[in-house]
C-alpha cells in the first residue's frame, strides 16, 4: 500500500478524449454499476475525506489506532501490562464481519444472514458447533442490536483484531482477567479505549505530524476534480473531521506537504471545491430534521465566524434552513456543522437525484444518503482492486469449480435414484446385486469428487484471503457485505480517482438482473 497510486493529468485526458468506443481500463480500476446513473443529470458531486479522498495506509494508520487503544486499555482501564507487547496483523481482518460480543465470536455470513465461517477468538468453530449456536432455533437471529458489532469500515479492523486477541487471552489466562470481564465487557472496553483515542486527538495529531507515513499519495485526484469542475459540476466535500485536521490532510493529498508549523500549509486545494463542510457529524447530517446550526470557518485561523468567543450564536429563523449572513465572496466556502438542508441550499439543486456522493462508509456515507435523500451514491472499496484482479486471473479455476459442482450434482442425483430403486423397486437378486455394485462405485466416485471440489473451492477462496476468503462471496452466495454494496451503492470502485477515467457525461448502466431460472438458460 506504500508509495504513489493513480495517474497524471495526461493519462486522464487521453482516456476521456479517446475515440468512439470504450477505452481499456484495468479491471482493478473500473467502476461497477448496481443502479443506473446518468452523469448528464448530475449537477453536484460530493466526497467524503477519510478513506475516500485520503486513502490511509492500513499497515501504519491502523497500527497507530491499535497501539493507542492498547495503551488506553492498560493505562485507563486496568488491563494487564503484557498487552503492551502485542502487535497488530493488519492483514487478518476484513470488512463485512460481525462480532458476537456475548460469545466472543467473529462471524462471516452470506446475504441471507446464514453464518458460513465463524471463529471464537482465533479458533475456527467446527461446523457442528456453528450450527448448534447459530442455526438450531426456530427464530432466525437478525444479528443486529446491542449484542453484535458490524465491521463495515476499514477503521474497524484494529477493533476486531484486538477483540479476538482479548478473547483468546481471557480463555488462556482466566486468572489474569477479572471474572467481571466477560466477552461483552471486553468489547465495551475496547470500544471505550478507541473513543478515548479519538477524543484526545492523539491519532490525528500523529497523522498531522507526518502525513506521508499514514496516507497514500494519489496523483489521480486532482485531474479527476479538474475534469468535474470543467464539465460544469459543483464539487463539494462533507467530512466529520474538523477544519484543522482537514486542512492538514488535504494539503498532503493535493500537494504532499508536511506540517512544519501552520506557515507550511496552503489553501490552494480549496480551488477544487465549491463548498467544504467539516465537523458534519454524519450520518446525522443526512437528516433534514437534524437542527444543528451551520457556521462559517475562517480558513486562516480556523475560528468559527458567527460565534461569540467560541460560543455558537443561535441563527434567526429556522436553524435548519438559514445560512450565515455575509458569506465572503470567495471561490470556495468552508463551513462547520449544519445538515443536508443547508447543503442543498448552498448547492441550489432542484432534486436530490441530481447529487452524486462518494464515500467509503456503507452506513455513514452511502445508506443514509441514498435511502433517506435519494442521492446517487458511489462506494469506495479499496480491497476491490485486488479482488477484481484475482477474480479476473482465475477464470480457469472457476470453470473447474463449476464442472466439479455439476459432476457432484449428477452423482448425487444418480445415487439417490439407485437408493430409491433398491428400497422400493421390485427387483430380482441379479438386478439388486448389479444396482448395489453400481451404488458402491458411485459412492466412492462421489466422495472423491466431493473432496476434490471442497479442496479446490477452499484453495480458490484463499487466493483472496487466507482466512476469510473472497470479500464479496461466502461459498457461492454473495456475502453480507456484497449484499449491502448491491443494495445501497449505485456505483462502486476501488479508488475515488477512477471516476476520472470515464467521460464526465457517461451513462452508467447496470447489467441485467437474472433469477436462477433465467441464469440457467441464458448463461449456457
Q: Quick check: bond before 463 cis, omega within 30? A: no
Across the strands, what pairs with 278? 336
Kindly give the interhelix angle for 202-209 and 243-255, rounded to the nearest 10 degrees. 30
Active site residue 50: yes
The radius of gyration of the chain from alpha carbons, rounded to an integer in Å, stands at 27
Handedness of CA 389, 390, 391, 393 (dihedral sign): positive
Residue corresponding to grid cell 476484513: 94
* Straight-line distance from the first to the last Cα atom of the chain, in angstroms, rounded to the nearest whole number: 40
Catalytic residue among 2, 11, 26, 48: 48
Q: How far is CA 102 from CA 129, 142, 148, 150, in A?
A: 16, 15, 8, 14
Residue 185 phi/psi, 5° resolution? -65, -40
d(CA 280, CA 238): 7
Task: Note whether 334 and 296 are within 8 A (CB).
Answer: yes
CB atoms within 10 A of CB 47: 28
Residue 436 phi/psi, 5° resolution? -65, -40
288 known member of a binding site: no
Alpha carbon 448 to its chain centroid, in Å, reads 38
C-alpha cell at 114: 446464514
Residue 18 phi/psi, 5° resolution? -65, 155
d(CA 193, CA 252): 28
Burial (CB count within 10 angstroms: exposed 0-12, middle 13-18, buried 19+), residue 288: middle
Nearest to 482 by CA among 387, 401, 370: 387
Residue 177 three-state SS = coil
Active site residue 9: no
413 known member of a binding site: no
User: How would DSSP label each residue in 84-99?
Assistant: GG----TTT--TTEEE
CB atoms within 10 A of CB 347: 17
Give residues with Cβ within 8 angstroms of 324, minimum separation 6.
294, 295, 296, 305, 306, 315, 335
360 known member of a binding site: yes
Nearest to 412 by CA among 454, 443, 452: 443
Nearest to 253 by CA among 500, 50, 31: 50
Nearest to 32 by CA among 430, 387, 322, 457: 387
Catalytic residue among 2, 9, 11, 50: 50
Residues of each annotated binding site? 48, 50, 360
Positions marked active-site: 48, 50
Binding residues for GMP: 50
Annotated binding site for Mg(2+): 48, 360
Amino acid at each position: 500500500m506504500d508509495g504513489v497510486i493513480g495517474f497524471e493529468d495526461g493519462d486522464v485526458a487521453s482516456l476521456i478524449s479517446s475515440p468512439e468506443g470504450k477505452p481499456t481500463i484495468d479491471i482493478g480500476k473500473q467502476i461497477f454499476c448496481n443502479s443506473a446513473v446518468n452523469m448528464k443529470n448530475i449537477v453536484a458531486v460530493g466526497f467524503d475525506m477519510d478513506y475516500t479522498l485520503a486513502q490511509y495506509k492500513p499497515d501504519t494508520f491502523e497500527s497507530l489506532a491499535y497501539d493507542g487503544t492498547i495503551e488506553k486499555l492498560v493505562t485507563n482501564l486496568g488491563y494487564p501490562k503484557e498487552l503492551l507487547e502485542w502487535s497488530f496483523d493488519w492483514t487478518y481482518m476484513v470488512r463485512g464481519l460481525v462480532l458476537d460480543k456475548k460469545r466472543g465470536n467473529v462471524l462471516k455470513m452470506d446475504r441471507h444472514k446464514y453464518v458460513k465461517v465463524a471463529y471464537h477468538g482465533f479458533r475456527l468453530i467446527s461446523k457442528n458447533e456453528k450450527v448448534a449456536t447459530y442455526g438450531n432455533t426456530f427464530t432466525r437471529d437478525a444479528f443486529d442490536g446491542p449484542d453484535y458489532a458490524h465491521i463495515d469500515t476499514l477503521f474497524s479492523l484494529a477493533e476486531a483484531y484486538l477483540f479476538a486477541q482479548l478473547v483468546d487471552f481471557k480463555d488462556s489466562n482466566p486468572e489474569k482477567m477479572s471474572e467481571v470481564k466477560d466477552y461483552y465487557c471486553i468489547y465495551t472496553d475496547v470500544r471505550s479505549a478507541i473513543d478515548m483515542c479519538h477524543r484526545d486527538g492523539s491519532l490525528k495529531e500523529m497523522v498531522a505530524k507526518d502525513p506521508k507515513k499514514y496516507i497514500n499519495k494519489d496523483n489521480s485526484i486532482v485531474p479527476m476534480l479538474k475534469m468535474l469542475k470543467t464539465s460544469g459540476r459543483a464539487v463539494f466535500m462533507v467530512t466529520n473531521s474538523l477544519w484543522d485536521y482537514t486542512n492538514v490532510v488535504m494539503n498532503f493529498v493535493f500537494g504532499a506537504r508536511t506540517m512544519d508549523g501552520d506557515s507550511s500549509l496552503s489553501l490552494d486545494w480549496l480551488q477544487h471545491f465549491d463548498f467544504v463542510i467539516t465537523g458534519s457529524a454524519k450520518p446525522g447530517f443526512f437528516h433534514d430534521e437534524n437542527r444543528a446550526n451551520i457556521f462559517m470557518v475562517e480558513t486562516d485561523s480556523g475560528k468559527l465566524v458567527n460565534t461569540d468567543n467560541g460560543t455558537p450564536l443561535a441563527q434567526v429563523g429556522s436553524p435548519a434552513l438559514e445560512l450565515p449572513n455575509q458569506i465572503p465572496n470567495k471561490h470556495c466556502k468552508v463551513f462547520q456543522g449544519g445538515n443536508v438542508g443547508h447543503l442543498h441550499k448552498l448547492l441550489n439543486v432542484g432534486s436530490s437525484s441530481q447529487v452524486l456522493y462518494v464515500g467509503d462508509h456503507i452506513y455513514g456515507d452511502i445508506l443514509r444518503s441514498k435511502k433517506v435523500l435519494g442521492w446517487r451514491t458511489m462506494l469506495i472499496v479499496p480491497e476491490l482492486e485486488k479482488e477484481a484482479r484475482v477474480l479476473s486471473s482465475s477464470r480457469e479455476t472457476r470453470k473447474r469449480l463449476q464442472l466439479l459442482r455439476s459432476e457432484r450434482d449428477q452423482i448425487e442425483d444418480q445415487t439417490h435414484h439407485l437408493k430409491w430403486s433398491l428400497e422400493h423397486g421390485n427387483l430380482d437378486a441379479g438386478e439388486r446385486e448389479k444396482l448395489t455394485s453400481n451404488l458402491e462405485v458411485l459412492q466412492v466416485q462421489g466422495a472423491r469428487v466431493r473432496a476434490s471440489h471442497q479442496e479446490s473451492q477452499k484453495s480458490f477462496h484463499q487466493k483472496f484471503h487466507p482466512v476469510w476468503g473472497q470479500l464479496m462471496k461466502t461459498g457461492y452466495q454473495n456475502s453480507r457485505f456484497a449484499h449491502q454494496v448491491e443494495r445501497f451503492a449505485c456505483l462502486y470502485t476501488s479508488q475515488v480517482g477512477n471516476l476520472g477515467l470515464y467521460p464526465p457525461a457517461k451513462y452508467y448502466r447496470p447489467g441485467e438482473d437474472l433469477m436462477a431460472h433465467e441464469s440457467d438458460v441464458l448463461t449456457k
